[in-house]
Amino acid sequence: MSQEIKENAVYTTAEVQVLLKISESTVKRLLKKGILRANKVGGQYRILGKEILRLMSPNLEYEAGKVYMKFKDKVVEVINKWPQ
C-alpha cells in the first residue's frame, strides 16, 4: 500500500523509513550528511514532507551530479599540476 507524502505534514524518522522503504541507518546517514533536512524537537528529528519530496526529486540527482563533476574537475586540475 502506497502512502501519499503531504508537503506540509511533519514526519518522524520512523515514518520516513516506512515511506521511503529504507533502513533506520540510512535515514540517520541522510540526516547526518544534510541530504535530508530536519529539525530536532525534544531530542527527536521532525522532517517536513516537502523535504522528503525534495529528496525524491529527479532534479536533486541532476544537481548532485553537476556538483560532483565540478568537484571532480577541480581535483583533476590540482593533480595535473603536481610535479611528475
- Are 25 and 67 spatial neighbours (Cβ–Cβ below 8 Å)? no
Q: Of 3 and 38, which is predicted with more confidence?
A: 38
**Cα separation, 6 vs 75, whole angstroms:** 40
Q: State residue 59's pLDDT score.
A: 76
Q: Which helix (H) or strand (E) holds 41?
A: strand 39-41
Say if pTM beats, i.e. exceeds, 0.75: no
| Separation CA 76–CA 84 (nearest Å) | 14
pLDDT at 28: 94
Report pLDDT digits (tens) over 20-69: 999 999 999 999 998 899 999 999 999 999 999 988 887 766 777 788 89
- In whole angstroms, give the CA distance from residue 50 to residue 46: 12
Domain boundaries, the chain: 10-80
Considering the four listed CATH numbers 1.10.260.40, 3.40.50.1970, 1.10.1660.10, 3.40.50.10070, the one that applies to the domain covering 10-80 is 1.10.1660.10
